[in-house]
Amino acid sequence: MADILNDKRILLVIGGGIAAYKCLDLIRRLRERGVSIKAILTKGGSEFVTPLSVSSLIEDKVYQDLFSLTDEAEMGHIRLSRENDLILVAPATADLMAKMACGIADNLATTTLLASNKQIMLAPTMNTEMWKNPATQANIATLKERGMLFVDPADGDLACGEVGTGRLAETEDIIATIEAFFLSKIDGPLRGKKITVTAGPTHEDIDPVRYIANRSSGKQGYTIASKLAQLGADVTLISGPTNLATPNHVKRINVTSANEMMENTENTLPADVVICVAAVADWHVKNAGEQKIKKQNGEFPALEFGENPDILKSISNHVTRPGLVIGFAAETENVLDHAKAKLDKKGCDWIVANDVSGDVMGGDDNQIHLITNSGIDTWPLMDKNSVAAKLASKIEEYFKE
Ligand code: C5P
């Protein structure tokens, strides 16, 4: 198969962050893959990399000035914003994103971005406090809502000497996200299929400051949602509280309690597939305190529990039941017996049984048995991304059949 990146045209906007030097390597890797690149170097960006380095690597001129007579005559900002298949902002600084969120057009980069009718992808980088600042997070949420794609920054040592989130994503991760974007444009095998995925834990309030929950990072559900979206499916992710970024091309609905998760999952019906990956709490507290419950000299509050709705079971028995309903079974012993019993009890079509006797919760590896009415398929130990890819390809096969 031809390289998905071959002959793609990317407009690279280089913002003013120390990580701008990393975009030189990014350019080389993209050029090796046959990508043609036009580049806008912001004033800040040019403090970190020279126009000559960028120009040599892209084998083209570098655009810097909004009011350059020659540049505007040759290729104005409107053409720059149009004649590409993707606009990549790397590094995307807090300032650049704030301007984009407000629609400010005060230089060549911001004007081109505002004038664009193409997909924009941002790879942010900044000091961790700048990243966490509610202003930055609000701007990112706004840009995401407007359909912009993100390659989230990584955790680690930052150029400023601090440690935290804010490092520019690795070149491979940026390229993987670009690939995923172009892959999602092709007519994927799951195009037109509506799939709902539940993920993460639910939190059941004890009072305004305390809750009960299951241990769940949400990673497995998120990777499944992401893989299905890459195959062209229309994916809605109903997510309990997690620290994970929304996968590209996935619609995410945040919920807290099991009841909310049930209601929102039901609202996505009719759907072609529902996959319940969430670790839903089995009970909620019926007498949850409206105010913080105070300690009472050695006496303990008598919590009364009520049963939560079983989302998987309800969807499996719903009047508008999807053709394929998939559940997960996290078991620490007798994995197969328990999982087979769960298939019957819940009335779903497939159970993805995972052995959680090791370090699965929050970890990266998973031992899976896929249990269906026609038998058991045991997969080798693999990471959660591979589990997601394999499950996605099983779903693809299901639709072919
Ligand atoms: O009964 P158990 O919690 O072990 O079942 C696990 C499966 O059922 C998972 O797919 C989980 O997402 C789903 N489930 C659910 N609603 C519940 C409990 C579990 O959807 N209240």
Q: Is residue 177 part of a domain?
A: yes
Count of structural domains within the chain: 2
**Position in ligand 1 atom list of the atom nearest CA 351:** 10
Instruction: Identify the pLDDT of residue 361.
Output: 54
Question: Stretch 245-258: mean pLDDT, rounded?
Answer: 88
User: What type of residue sits at position 109?
Assistant: A
Percent of the chain surpassing pLDDT 90: 75
In this predicted structure, the answer to whether residue 362 has a pLDDT above a threshold of 70 is: no
In this predicted structure, the answer to whether residue 67 has a pLDDT above a threshold of 90 is: no
Question: Stretch 261-273: mean pLDDT, rounded?
Answer: 97
Instruction: Identify the pLDDT of residue 359.
Output: 59
Which long-range CB contacts under 8 A does 182-189 form with residues at least 24 apart?
Answer: 182/4, 182/5, 182/8, 182/85, 182/86, 183/4, 183/230, 184/229, 184/230, 184/232, 184/248, 184/249, 186/4, 186/232, 187/232, 188/230, 188/231, 188/232, 188/233, 189/231, 189/232, 189/396, 189/399, 189/400
Listed ranges 159-163, 228-232, 353-357; the one with the highest mean pLDDT: 228-232
Measured distance CA(175)–CA(199) in Å, rounded: 26
User: Is 196's C-beta closer than 6 angstroms to any atom of ligand 1?
Assistant: no
- Measuring from atom 9 of ligand 1, which residue has the nearest CA? 328
Let me know whether 23 and 165 are in one domain. Answer: yes
Let me know whether 163 and 18 are in one domain. Answer: yes
Q: Is residue 42 part of a domain?
A: yes
Let me know whether 391 and 342 are in one domain. Answer: yes
∠ CA 169-174-178, nearest 5°, is 155
Query: 382: burial class by Cβ within 10 Å (0-12, 13-18, 19+)?
Result: middle
Question: Stretch 275-299: mean pLDDT, rounded?
Answer: 93
Catalytic residue among 102, 160, 276, 348: 160
User: Is 329's C-beta closer than 6 angstroms to any atom of ligand 1?
Assistant: yes
Let me know whether 131 and 175 are in one domain. Answer: yes
User: Is 327's C-beta closer than 6 angstroms to any atom of ligand 1?
Assistant: yes
Let me know whether 238 and 384 are in one domain. Answer: yes
Domain stop point among 145, 164, 184 = 184
Residue 144 sits in which domain range? 2-184
Please check whether residue 169 is in contact with residue 122, taking contact to mean a CB–CB distance below 8 angstroms. Answer: no
In this predicted structure, the answer to whether residue 338 has a pLDDT above a threshold of 80 is: yes
Please check whether residue 137 is in contact with residue 128, taking contact to mean a CB–CB distance below 8 angstroms. Answer: no
Domain stop point among 143, 166, 184 = 184
Instruction: Identify the pLDDT of residue 331.
Output: 86
Report how far ligand 1's centroid is from the alpha carbon of 279 (Å): 6
CATH of the domain at 125: 3.40.50.1950
Q: Facing residues of 236 across strands?
A: 196, 251
Let me know whether 295 and 316 are in one domain. Answer: yes
What confidence tens digit (pLDDT) does each residue in 68-127 have?
Answer: 877 777 777 888 999 999 999 999 999 999 999 999 999 999 999 999 999 999 999 999
Measured distance CA(395)–CA(193) in Å, rounded: 11
Let me know whether 52 and 109 are in one domain. Answer: yes
Let me know whether 127 and 248 are in one domain. Answer: no
Please check whether residue 322 is in contact with residue 273, taking contact to mean a CB–CB distance below 8 angstroms. Answer: yes
Q: Is residue 279 part of a domain?
A: yes
Percent of the chain surpassing pLDDT 70: 98
- Measuring from atom 4 of ligand 1, which residue has the nearest CA? 329
Report how far ligand 1's centroid is from the alpha carbon of 261 (Å): 12
Let me know whether 43 and 70 are in one domain. Answer: yes
In this predicted structure, the answer to whether residue 139 has a pLDDT above a threshold of 90 is: yes
Residue whose CB lies within 8 A of the most ligand 1 atoms, among 204, 220, 276, 324, for a mutation test = 276
Let me know whether 219 and 170 are in one domain. Answer: no
Let me know whether 205 and 343 are in one domain. Answer: yes
Q: Is residue 105 part of a domain?
A: yes
Question: Stretch 309-322: mean pLDDT, rounded?
Answer: 98
Let me know whether 104 and 169 are in one domain. Answer: yes
Q: Is residue 291 part of a domain?
A: yes
Question: Stretch 201-218: mean pLDDT, rounded?
Answer: 95
Question: Stretch 289-304: mean pLDDT, rounded?
Answer: 90
Q: Is residue 249 part of a domain?
A: yes
pTM: 0.64
User: Is 258's C-beta closer than 6 angstroms to any atom of ligand 1?
Assistant: yes
Q: Facing residues of 149 across strands?
A: 121
CATH of the domain at 395: 3.40.50.10300
Question: Stretch 190-194: mean pLDDT, rounded?
Answer: 92
Report how far ligand 1's centroid is from the alpha carbon of 346 (Å): 9
What confidence tens digit (pLDDT) does each residue in 2-29 have?
Answer: 678 989 999 999 999 999 999 999 999 9
Report how far ligand 1's centroid is from the alpha carbon of 365 (Å): 20
Instruction: Identify the pLDDT of residue 312.
Output: 98
Q: Is residue 292 part of a domain?
A: yes
Instruction: Identify the pLDDT of residue 1.
Output: 43
Measured distance CA(234)–CA(231) in Å, rounded: 9
Domain stop point among 184, 218, 249 = 184
Please check whether residue 172 is in contact with residue 144, taking contact to mean a CB–CB distance below 8 angstroms. Answer: no
Q: Is residue 189 part of a domain?
A: no
Q: Which residues contact 153 (CB under 8 A, 6 or more apart)?
A: 123, 124, 125, 126, 131, 165, 166, 167, 168, 169
Enclosing H/E stretch for 262: helix 258-267
**At 364, is the pLDDT very low, low, confident or very high (cuts 50, 70, 90)?**
low
Phi, psi (degrees; rounded to nearest 5) at 76: -70, 175
